[in-house]
Structure 1
Amino acid sequence: MRTEPVYRALFENGVLQQRAQEAQGRLADCALCPRECHVNRFVEATGFCRSGSLAVVCAWHPHFGEERPLVGSRGSGTIFFGSCNLGCVFCQNWTTSRLIEADEVVPEALARIMLALERRGCHNINLVTPSHIVPQILAALVVAAGAGLSVPLVYNTSGYDSLETLALLDGVVDVYMPDIKFMRAEAAAR
């Protein structure tokens, strides 16, 4: 039995569009993650993540290295975003997550990527290191949902998210998949 992804209802009643607009406004004084850099990402990309107003997409493809329930038989439609807001020295995705010289894409192009992954048979759209790209993701999702996107969203986060930004995703994301870095402050300080 296939169920409809949660964002479809928000798209149909206009709430997704409102949240996308609200999120875009937050780029002018960026506090999307707990670093709260307060830079205007429409003008400059000088915050910790060095992201501007466009999403940096490093790679996208059906991925078979995720947890089995996400991969299924046709893969998880993974989109790897660059300019991560963390910078962990042990990151398994360092070559992509900190990359800033990748493709900057407008929301319509990001929507086309989502739709292409769905057409390739992926079971979901898996957004990797998305914390600082939420406004761009929401804007792209409005376009993709309008074009018929109907697979679940996976928010595959490094776990450094603000509650305010996560609230924008309430009822949008089907699967939250945060990475747990450390449970004790002493271990994290090393």
Structure 2
Amino acid sequence: MPAQSSPDAGPGRQTPVIDLAKAPGAGEAWDRPRAVVYLWGACELLFVSNPWQISSRLRVAVLRAFGAEIGPGVTFRPRTRVKFPWKLHIGAGCWIGEGVWFHNQDDVYIGANVVVSQECFITTGSHRARSDMGLITSPVYIDDGAWVTSRCMVLGGAHIGQSAVVEPLTVVRGDIPPNAVYGRVPGPSVIRERFRDNDVL
């Protein structure tokens, strides 16, 4: 794709600018007919992302009706957003906090007894930043017993290990080992083990 250039790149250098009007669309990630995607948008607004304290079971039922795989005993709090429910897979006994956004243009796999706390953003999509800004996707995996605390961002390709904890406001990319406490200060890293040998549940 031809790119425009910026005159502010410095002497003898032109910095390219991608013409977004020519960028590929993201419809290839839909995997459902346009009518289904639009119908889901309406149902999400009415039953899932609304702020009303309606039954969590109703939210789960609507998500399942559009293809989400959700185990028994899952709690969905208000203001949840799900881009494509047919790409959401959640095990039994999970807690999904208020305002969680699954921007799942690829599959999101969540094990059993996982907590995803308030205002977390889980995204599986990005763009080809050095060429045409076309969509690229990769799945996210969150294993059994993990806890993603408030306002974290989990990026495509991330894998959070069993019973790991992600501290608030952390950006997750790549792998987090099982039983780790992972935080953002001084930079995203494993801080300590979550459980030790003498811990008893």
Query: Normalising to structure 1: TM-score of the pair?
Result: 0.26
Greater relative contact order (Cα < 8 A, sep 6+): 1
Structure with the bigger percentage of helix: 1
Structure with the bigger percentage of strand: 2
Query: Normalising to structure 2: TM-score of the pair?
Result: 0.25
